[in-house]
Each structure stands twice: as structure tokens, then as C-alpha cells.
Amino acid sequence: MTRTTLRSLVELRQAELAAAGLGAGGSVALRLPPSLGYVSVLLAAWRLGAQVALLDHRLTEHETAAALTRLAPQVLVEADRPPAAGLRGFSEAEPVVTTRPDGRAAQSPHALVQLSSGSTGPSKVIARTAGDLLRELDCYRTLPDFPKAGSRTVLLSSVVHVLGLVGGLLHSLHARVRLTVPERMTAAGILAAIAEEDLPTTVIGVPFHAELLAGVRVPRPLPHLTRIVVAGELTRPGVAEAVRDRYGVPLGTMYGMTELGVIATDLTGTLAPSVRPVPGLELRTEGGELHIRRPDSPYLGLTDPTRWSDGWLHTRDAAAYDAASGLLTVQGRRDSQVSIGGLKVDLTEVEHTLTALPEVREAVVVFEHGAVEAYLVPTEGAGAEQIRAGLEQRLAGYKRPRRLALLPALPRTATGKLLRDPAGLRAAAAAV
């Protein structure tokens, strides 16, 4: 689709939304799968000056109802049909606009409202102004190794969430980068999308996508692939090397939050395990936790002082910041550091040790009811006793998981992150 055609479609969507009563200062919720309809309605709502709340189309009806109760939008836009199969990259859905009599106008000047992924518990309601989004777009525009005009992005991250929305969709429109979403989100589908054009190509996704691509045979050369970039969670050891061996390109990493967007990057793959903060951010570490200067709270509703206070956003990520070199090393969630019998245990260390075992494909480690528990996907033929034997050689006794739950696949959030909510993991294990 050309920009001219998209602009015409946005004008039509704008008229539809205005007819439903949406205008400047109004509120609208979008529950649409990745599609042309989603893009055109999003841009049309912003043209009208409305506040847009994004709901992932994969939410259940119960979750959607709860979100609508919290957000109370004046207008709801949904798809005219169920979303495409799970492995489809995009849908052909037509938007259906519904006026909600009980909805209310925007209660703040924010342009965008998102729900956090909820990987460790209930979602937070996060709001960003137009200025916040423009600042982030300026960051992307100035990153020397991020896609520029005349190049191309193959986007694997959801356009409902911050990386896919701003780093993928909005940056591509802003910087005149060709944007491709694979027809199918399988390894074969992604590789076909990479190969279909001869422009310099950057793939943007989450660590799961990098692991997927690193584990398949490449059927043809991909000379126009320049790099793969991932964000959302820590990449397990060995993945960057596997990507470089398989494709001859670096695995770039990005660190960010829904609250702020992109925070730090290592797009060249040479700084690992560190990243370099983007310009304009003031950072500090306090008690081992990363704090970032932000003049106001990004959360709608009551302000939680454990998340934002006195002009600082508390990321809840453990990190080390070297002011001399300007490098930031993110070590994982702060709540991954627990105490067992007075001894400190880093759950991230336990998790990385597990995933480094040849018998383990992927793993999540949590702390529940005073004990460390591991939920993992074993390699073919591997059993719990082999995994325990490997851990005995690598971890002190007090660090080892008391429980190993073997699953065929680990549950993930809508953004592709591994679920870390103990209740959700226990339910998945019970189902197996």
C-alpha cells in the first residue's frame, strides 16, 4: 500500500468515527488484530484529536470486559470477524464502530493508553502524550543502525504494543521506511518475507523470534538482511552467537518499557551484556534498581509510589549503570532476587543456568511460597532426573529449584513474553 492510498483510507475512517460521535478530547478503544483496518482507524482517531486505548485482540471476552470497565471509552472499534489463525501475521478484518452510551471523554491529555503485558501479574494502565511519542520517534530517527529511508523493516512484534507500534509502524511512516509484516509468523513465513525484496532489511521482534530463526535451516542466501533486533526480555545465552553463525548478522538488543518506549540499545551486538541509553534520558540506580527521570507519572488512576515518586520512574529492573562509559547493564527483574534461609538467590541466574543445559529448551523460574520453582520445556528425550543432575554440578543446593515442572510449551503473554505469573504457570502445569 502506498502512503497516498493510506491517507485516503484514513480520511474515510475519520468520517466514520466522527459520525459515531468521536471528536477532539474524546476516547476510543481499538480491539483489532494487526491489519490495514487497525492502522487506518488508529491514525484517523488521532487526526480527530481523540485519546486512543489499545486492547490486544487476543484478550478473552472476560479480559476485554474488565478493560472496558476500567477505561470507559466513548467508542469501541472491533473486527467484523474472529481474528485469523494464530500463526497469521495480519488479518483482513473490517472495523466495526460502536458508540458506548456509558463511555466518558478522555480524563487526561494523553494521546495513547496501553495496558502492560501483565507477564508478572495484573496489567497496569499506562498513558503517553503526543510529545512522549514524538520524543521516542526522534530517538529512533537518530539511532545510526536503525532502519532509514530506502531500507526496510520486517516486523514481528505486535503493533498493539510499544515496540511494534512506535519502533515498527510509526517509525516506518515517519522515516519513510518500507514496512513488511509476514503473512505467516512461522520460521518459513518470516524467511520468505525477508527474501521477497532486495532492500537492506532489519527484522524486529522478541527473543523468541531470534531463537526460532536461529534453529532452522536457511533455504536460500539472504544478502539483504542487515540485522535482527529483539526487545522485551533478556536474551538467553548463546542466541546471539547462533544468529551470527546462521545468518552472518548481529543480534541487536533494545531495552525499553511501555511507560517510556525505547530506553537503551545495542544494535551492533558488540556491547553485550550492556546497552547504551538513548540521548535525553537521565538515569540512576538506587539500591540496585534502575530509576529514570520522568516529571509526571505515566499511570492513570492512583499513583503508586513504589512505581513513580519525586520525578523518578522505578523500573523494578535490577541494573548497573557506569556513568564513566555511559553503559547500562540490565540484570533482570528486581523481584527476581529473593532470600532463602537468609541467603540471596537470583532467579535470573537459576533460569540462565537451566537454559544453558543441553536438556532444556526454555525455562521460567519463579519464587512461590518460600521456594524456587522451575517450569521448563525439555529437549526430546530429556527427563527431570537428567536436568537435576546437570543443576547439581552447576548450582549450590540452596539455589536449585525445589520443583521442576516439565511442559510441552511455556505459556506466553500477548506480546510473546514468557509468562512469569506463578498462578498462570501452575495452571499450565496442572493442565498438562
Residue range(s) of every CATH 3.40.50.12780 domain in the chain: 131-333
pLDDT at 73: 97
Check if the beta carbon of residue 292 is closer than 8 Å to that of residue 263.
yes
Instruction: Note the pLDDT of residue 165.
Output: 96
Q: 152-155 and 343-346 as β-strands: parallel, antiparallel, unpaired?
A: unpaired
Q: Which fold has domain 131-333?
A: Rossmann fold (3.40.50)
How high is the pLDDT of residue 342?
58
Residues of each domain in the chain carrying CATH 3.30.300.30: 341-431
CB count, 10 Å around CB of 256? 21
**The pLDDT of residue 122:** 54
Please tell me the predicted confidence (pLDDT) of residue 368: 85
In the chain, CATH 3.40.50.980 sits at 3-107
| Class (C level, CATH) for 341-431 | alpha beta
pTM: 0.82
Cis peptide preceding 279, ω within 30 of 0: no
Query: Which single residue is written with the C-alpha cell 518475507?
Result: 193
- Please state which CATH class domain 3-107 belongs to: alpha beta
Looking at residue 232, its pLDDT comes to: 83
Amino acid at position 374, single letter: A
Quick one: pLDDT at residue 120?
47
Rounded Cα distance between 183 and 187, Å, is 11
DSSP code per residue over 355-405: HTSTTEEEEEEEEETTEEEEEEEEPTT--HHHHHHHHHHHS-GGGS-SEEE
For the record, the C-alpha cell of 47 comes out as: 487526526
> Please, what are the averages of pLDDT over each run of 10 residues along the chain (432 residues)?
96 98 98 94 98 87 86 96 79 94 96 74 81 95 95 94 95 97 95 96 94 90 96 85 96 94 96 93 92 92 81 92 92 75 76 91 89 93 93 86 94 81 91 88
Q: Which has the closest alpha carbon to 232: 140, 122, 346, 156?
A: 156
Q: Helix or strand or coil: residue 219?
A: coil
